[in-house]
Chains A and B, each alone.
Chain A
């Protein structure tokens, strides 16, 4: 009898996990389209970047450790020195003029591709809350 709430909880949890995974998958799919349009010319197909010019996104320590700053960079543009995987880059990335939901999608794609992994979905609300 005591098993029922436990089972219910388990079922609820797995549904929630499943739905978050489905959300992530759909968001990443949309994010890939955005990436191939706005990001690929500099950061390249597999997020490898260009040596000493455009920082890599694939297995980037900066991206893993600076979630909000990364969202801010995509949202408002970024300029000046930035250290990624021990290499200093000094360049400018203009704001691409993306909508908050597009930024969330492309962030989810970047943060879960090429060996990157994030346990928390980037949502439109999270992007909206990031100030310049």
Chain B
């Protein structure tokens, strides 16, 4: 009898433990690495975003303002690339192809742009087609305003969902008290567009006076990872928090992710930002990293090429310079693995149409993870 009471107590304690996230969570070094990294594209400074074309070639952005077309082992510089505001974290950022690229040829690019009357820059979204290694039919689809000379938090990532909507993340541009909680201002938001840049009629803030109606969710700090869940079709993000506040979120229409009203992080100086980690009407993260890893890029593994990896998430760490694999179970992160330790600042990670994983590393280039089996 005594034993069974103890057992019930123990079960209860363990159950409770497994529900709440451990405040300090740690990353493990796996014993079996199911891949060998191969530096496929070398000599790049800051490869920021990657996209795959149907002919097996790749487009890679270089933050300083170049697009590299990598085909049959050769790098070619793409011309007629938009002029970027290369300051701080700004520059040429993400690149993505239309889900129906084969038929329409549209390529989408996010970058920091000086367009507009004010000094400085803000994040812009454009699309173009690739012809003879030049961008043609360039169209500016969105430009966040107002410009600022702040060097921080441009975002940005581009992803399409299963219905063909384009999602774009824009960081709060270093104005945490002005932008993220105000839906009449750009920055600290995730946006949703039709593929031609028009704003969907059923976006959550359509009809609200003064609102930037492209906004889909708000209260973000600096999302630099955006990915579509392979089973549910939901859009997931990861975002840089302050010290100790990096998060993974599932993006829902009209939802407020809380920055800077609630956060698990503190200022870089160690002083508090807020004493609140939760509040009614604000979303809790699916996961938060402590300590912060400075996450960039995000990919779900859908192929069977890497042992039991299918269904897990890959995220780059800028701060600790490795690739992280997060194992999910029942909608929770149950294990974290450190891969490619000390490789360099991992800026982006994607699964290619061939089911292989590609990793963009600053100061290095693009690695292809060759499966061991």
Q: Does B150 have its Cβ within 8 Å of any Cβ on chain A? A: yes
**Complex CA–CA separation, A3 to B292 (angstroms):** 64
Contacting A97 at CB < 8 Å: which of B88, B294, B344, B363? Answer: B88
Chain B residue at minimal CB-CB distance from A33: B150
B174 adjacent to A37 (CB under 8 Å): yes
Q: Which residues of A, 33-84, contact B by the 8 Å Cβ criterion?
A: 37-38, 40-41, 44-45, 50, 53, 77, 79
B46 adjacent to A37 (CB under 8 Å): no
**Complex CA–CA separation, A40 to B294 (angstroms):** 13
Q: Flag B79-113 by CB within 8 Å of A: 1 or 0 each.
A: 00000011110100000000000000000000000
Q: Which one, A12-20, A88-96, A113-121, is touching chain B?
A: A88-96
B87 adjacent to A94 (CB under 8 Å): no
Known A-B contacts A38-B88, A45-B268; A96 and B151 likewise in contact (beta carbons under 8 Å): yes
Q: Which residues of B contact A94 (CB under 8 A)?
A: 45-46, 63-64
Q: Which residues of B contact A22 (CB under 8 A)?
A: none
How many pairs of residues, A versus B, come closer than 8 Å at their CB atoms? 46
Known A-B contacts A40-B268, A92-B363; A53 and B87 likewise in contact (beta carbons under 8 Å): no
Contacting B319 at CB < 8 Å: which of A38, A40, A50, A92? Answer: A50
Q: Does A130 have its Cβ within 8 Å of any Cβ on chain B? A: no
Contacting A92 at CB < 8 Å: which of B90, B152, B268, B362? Answer: B362
A37 adjacent to B321 (CB under 8 Å): no
* B contacts with A, residue count (CB < 8 A): 24
* A contacts with B, residue count (CB < 8 A): 17
Q: Which residues of B contact A50 (CB under 8 A)?
A: 319
Q: Is the interface of B mostly helix, strand, loop or mixed?
A: loop
Q: Does A11 have its Cβ within 8 Å of any Cβ on chain B? A: no
Contacting A91 at CB < 8 Å: which of B85, B150, B294, B363? Answer: B363
B268 adjacent to A44 (CB under 8 Å): yes
Q: Which residues of A contact B208 (CB under 8 A)?
A: none
B268 to chain A, nearest CB (A): 5
A21 to chain B, nearest CB (A): 26
**Complex CA–CA separation, A114 to B63 (angstroms):** 32
Q: Does B269 have its Cβ within 8 Å of any Cβ on chain A? A: yes
**Complex CA–CA separation, A50 to B363 (angstroms):** 17
B268 adjacent to A79 (CB under 8 Å): no
B360 to chain A, nearest CB (A): 13
**Complex CA–CA separation, A77 to B63 (angstroms):** 13
Chain B residue at minimal CB-CB distance from A50: B319
**Complex CA–CA separation, A73 to B17 (angstroms):** 48
B151 adjacent to A38 (CB under 8 Å): yes
**Complex CA–CA separation, A119 to B86 (angstroms):** 33
B269 adjacent to A37 (CB under 8 Å): no
Contacting B150 at CB < 8 Å: which of A37, A41, A45? Answer: A37
A43 to chain B, nearest CB (A): 10
Chain A residue at minimal CB-CB distance from B87: A97
Provide 17 A-B residue pairs closer than 8 Å at the C-beta atoms, listed in order of the A residue. A37-B88, A38-B88, A38-B151, A44-B268, A45-B268, A45-B270, A91-B345, A92-B45, A92-B344, A92-B363, A94-B45, A95-B64, A96-B87, A97-B86, A97-B87, A97-B90, A97-B151
Chain A interfacial positions (CB closer than 8 Å to B): 37-38, 40-41, 44-45, 50, 53, 77, 79, 91-92, 94-98
Chain B interfacial positions (CB closer than 8 Å to A): 45-46, 63-64, 85-88, 90, 150-152, 174, 268-270, 294, 319-321, 344-345, 362-363
